[in-house]
Structure 1
Amino acid sequence: MAGDLTDIAHVQDLVKRHIERYGGLDILVNNASKQILCSDFAEIDLNNVESTFRSNTLAMHALVKYALTHMKRGASIIQTSSMTAYKGSKGMVDYSFRWAFPFWGFVVWIGYQKLAAATMATVFWAGDIFA
């Protein structure tokens, strides 16, 4: 089911179509992201920052929002992240921010929200290429 995850209406429809087709949702893996290099913060294109945020953060929130009510006991949300959340990156400040800002709080929040239903939220931290 291909589509644009920055289009919130599409995300909602995507989850709906998945539920209709497969009857449920046991595992949600959020790993779609993009990065745009910019080595000088003074030169950062704010349109790129917004685009990166929509692609990497807003899409994740939308997928969880629309999927969570369909996830039952034992379901899993797997969230990928990056070492740039801790190390940063000289050329990817908006990408680094994307990983650092929402993830710990977001995953902990999911745990609190679904604790009674025993939905597991996990973050996997991948190493980065750019140092």
Structure 2
Amino acid sequence: MQKGGKKKTLRKPQTQARPGKEHKMQPRPEVHNEYPGSGRLKDKVALITGGDSGIGRAVAVLFAKEGASIAIAYLNEHRDARETMGMVQETGQDCIIISGDLSKEANCKSAVSKTIKKFGRIDILVNNAALHWEEKNFEDITSDQLVTTFANNFFSYFWVTQAALPHIPEGGVIINTSSVTAYRGSPSLIDYASTKGAIVSFTRSLSANLVKKKIRVNGVAPGPIWTPLIASTFDGDKVASFGSDVPMERAGEPSEVAPAYLFLACGDASYVTGQFIHVNGGEIING
């Protein structure tokens, strides 16, 4: 942060309608790391919710580079989803895209069933779909907004995991996306931060529940990452300075978060369960 607490302008002001389109963002988020894959997920099948753009897109492409087949569940960002599918296919891996509102339990079950119909199993489940609204006054958070936020951000994780679990073999992995806000709170994203706190407890509890089945459950808690969720939530000036208040003074790119998911998904993390990796630009989190 600059002297006097003024946030840096890192990009031009911009806004979008929710849920946001990656192809309309300026600059476009960085998806790829340059290094080639090394086969760490060879012959695995990954289902990624919210995989059309942002962190989910970067995870999908990185997993594909490492040899995984990919199923992407998303809401209605069809162009972004097709772009992501193309990126996965460019690696030589198979990919399907599944549109549906995951705040509805039936759509969560459908996403899993379509993945199983195509690939036969799910080795890696990444629960990543999310949305938020900025509300500076706590009293302005309506019951409808609260329920919608929890249904999208938390209930979908629960429902997708329940549906997927019978199809996850021994050695399988579940990775849940939380947030730095789960650990230090957010005065203007109270309902969102609450869902992310629930995801932390869900992850830790589920890891203990599934450890004897030899299924590992972990999570990633990103800080400020440049994704469509940001451009579709905050006003133009806040978007322009987004991320400037962390020690690194910038937002992270999706490509900088995806390797944390890869570590948790592959055999390198064989002795890790019930844990979170904090990719947040230097903010110290004790949790």
Runs of at least 4 residues off by over 2 Å: 128-131
Paired with 2:126 and 2:106, the residues of 1 have a C-alpha distance of 19
Q: What number of residue pairs does the alignment pair up?
A: 130
Q: In the alignment, is the contact (CA less than 8 A) between 2:204 and 2:218 conserved in 1? A: no
Gaps of at least 5 residues in structure 2 are 1-97, 225-241, 246-287
Q: Residue by residue, what CA displacement relative to the aligned partner does 1:78-100 show, whole Å, maximum 9, x if unpaired?
A: 11110101111111110111111
| 1:59 equivalent in alignment to 2:152 | no
Greater share of residues in helix: 1
Paired with 1:72 and 1:116, the residues of 2 have a C-alpha distance of 12
Partner of 1:117: 213
TM-score by length of 1: 0.91
| 1:28 equivalent in alignment to 2:121 | no
Secondary structure in structure 2 of the residue aligned to 1:74: coil
| 1:79 equivalent in alignment to 2:176 | yes
Identical residues among aligned pairs (%): 28
Structure ranking higher on relative contact order (CA contacts 8 Å, 6+ apart): 1
TM-score by length of 2: 0.43
When the two chains are superposed, the root-mean-square deviation of aligned CA atoms in Å is: 1.5
Partner of 1:98: 195
Q: In the alignment, is the contact (CA less than 8 A) between 2:179 and 2:223 conserved in 1? A: yes
Q: Residue by residue, what CA displacement relative to the aligned partner does 1:8-53 show, whole Å, maximum 9, x if unpaired?
A: 1121122112111101000100111000010011222221111101
Q: In the alignment, is the contact (CA less than 8 A) between 2:112 and 2:160 conserved in 1? A: yes
Gaps of at least 5 residues in structure 1 are none
Paired with 1:38 and 1:45, the residues of 2 have a C-alpha distance of 10
